[in-house]
Amino acid sequence: MRMNEPVTQQPVRVPPGANILSTTDAKGRITHVNDEFVRISGFERDELLGQPHNMIRHPDMPRLAFDALWTRLRAGDSWLGLVKNRCKNGDHYWVKAYATPIQDDDGNTSEYQSIRTAPPDQACVDRAESLYAGIRAREPGKGPIGLTNTRPRRIPFHWRVVGLVAVTSLPAAAAGSYGAGAALAGWCAGLILAALGSYALTARLRSMVREARERVDDPLMERVFAGDTSEFASLAMERLALTSELDAVSKRLADATGELERSMDSCKDSVGEVMSSINEQSSETDQVAAATEEMSQTVQEIARHAAEADEAAGRVRAATEAGGQ
């Protein structure tokens, strides 16, 4: 994995509403960056274009996070994660990154698009710092790395509800006025009813969780964004992915609109320059026409004077000849 150093560990704040956008070709070479990307990264646009996108990767980012990224992108799916990027001067900035493969008409991936925005809150950043540090400590040569991105086996939610009912109802059963056998039988019957009812009532929840994990199955990022890998964390992760997808569409459109506006402004400037040049040429043409008119009048005046001189010379010759006779 590429190591970009040095680093200063000085954070750069990403403002709310930021739209940090970049695209790469199918090999990960940068093909487009917007102005916000250039501004926060500290690189010049010419330094970024054509370069591998991992030139902004911070050494604190573990390989495991990017393994999940590329697994999803190569499968044609989008990826959502919290990423620490390195600035040119070694500072860093945290972003919520939403990466998407863009496919051509033949269904082949032609480019990758990444929209980055400010993290949801500081708690996400703190959890990411801790989790990523733990993963790096177990990278090759230091132990297994796959454990952190697996979902631990948990007692299903409906069984946890039954357990809660059992614990809370046991004192009441023990204090009952009926015999111990009757109390135990009643308690067991209550647990069976609780189990059946809980299983039925949570059927929709289990279905929603299963669908959420089919769309976004990334336990590491569930830990980062939601704090655990519970059923509710999976639902929260799916909702965040959906809102990020909508946000990515709107921000890509905003970037394209901005590019169009800048092109139109440039065209307006060019048209203005052309019109100014035409006006200057028109003025110069008018001046040439006026000068030509003046010259024509001068030539006519000279011709008239020449004719008059020739006529006068003729009269002189005639008078001279008459005097000689």
- pLDDT tens, position by position, 101-119: 999 888 899 999 999 999 9
Q: How far is Cα 182 from Cα 172, in angstroms, rounded to an integer?
A: 13
In a domain, 272, yes or no: no
Q: How far is Cα 150 from Cα 218, in angstroms, rounded to an integer?
A: 8
Question: Chain-wide mean pLDDT for the chain?
Answer: 80
Boundary (domain end) residue, out of 148, 167, 188 = 148
Give the structural domain span for 36: 20-148
Hey, what amino acid is at 99? Answer: A
In a domain, 88, yes or no: yes
Boundary (domain end) residue, out of 127, 148, 169 = 148
Q: How far is Cα 173 from Cα 321, in angstroms, rounded to an integer?
A: 162
In a domain, 306, yes or no: no
Boundary (domain end) residue, out of 115, 148, 181 = 148
The answer on 175 and 84 residing in a single domain is no
In a domain, 310, yes or no: no
The answer on 229 and 186 residing in a single domain is yes
Which of 32, 29, 55 lies closest to 42, judged by CA? Answer: 55
| Cβ-contact 148, 134 below 8 angstroms | yes
pLDDT above 70: residue 321: no
The enclosing domain of 86 has a CATH number of 3.30.450.20
Residue with tokens 């056998």: 181
Mean pLDDT value of segment 68-96: 95
Q: What is the CA radius of gyration of the chain?
A: 41
The answer on 194 and 120 residing in a single domain is no
The answer on 181 and 137 residing in a single domain is no
The answer on 26 and 139 residing in a single domain is yes
pLDDT above 80: residue 195: no
Which of 88, 139, 89, 84 lies closest to 116, judged by CA? Answer: 84
The answer on 221 and 113 residing in a single domain is no
In a domain, 161, yes or no: yes
Distances in Å between the Cα of 156 and the Cα atoms of 102, 159, 162, 216 are: 37, 5, 10, 19
Strands 79-86 and 20-25: unpaired
Question: Does a cis peptide bond (omega within 30 degrees of 0) precede residue 6?
Answer: yes
In a domain, 91, yes or no: yes
Torsion of CA 7, 79, 243, 129, to 10 degrees: -30
Number of domains in the chain: 2
The answer on 46 and 139 residing in a single domain is yes
In a domain, 80, yes or no: yes
What pLDDT score does 267 carry? 62
DSSP helix/strand/coil, 4: coil
| Cβ-contact 2, 55 below 8 angstroms | yes
The answer on 31 and 122 residing in a single domain is yes
Residue range 137-169, pLDDT digits in tens: 886 555 444 445 667 666 676 666 666 655 555
Question: 116 CB contacts (<8 Å, ≥6 apart)?
Answer: 14, 18, 20, 21, 37, 83, 85, 95, 96, 97, 98
Query: pTM higher than 0.75, yes or no?
Result: no
Residue with tokens 């230091």: 142
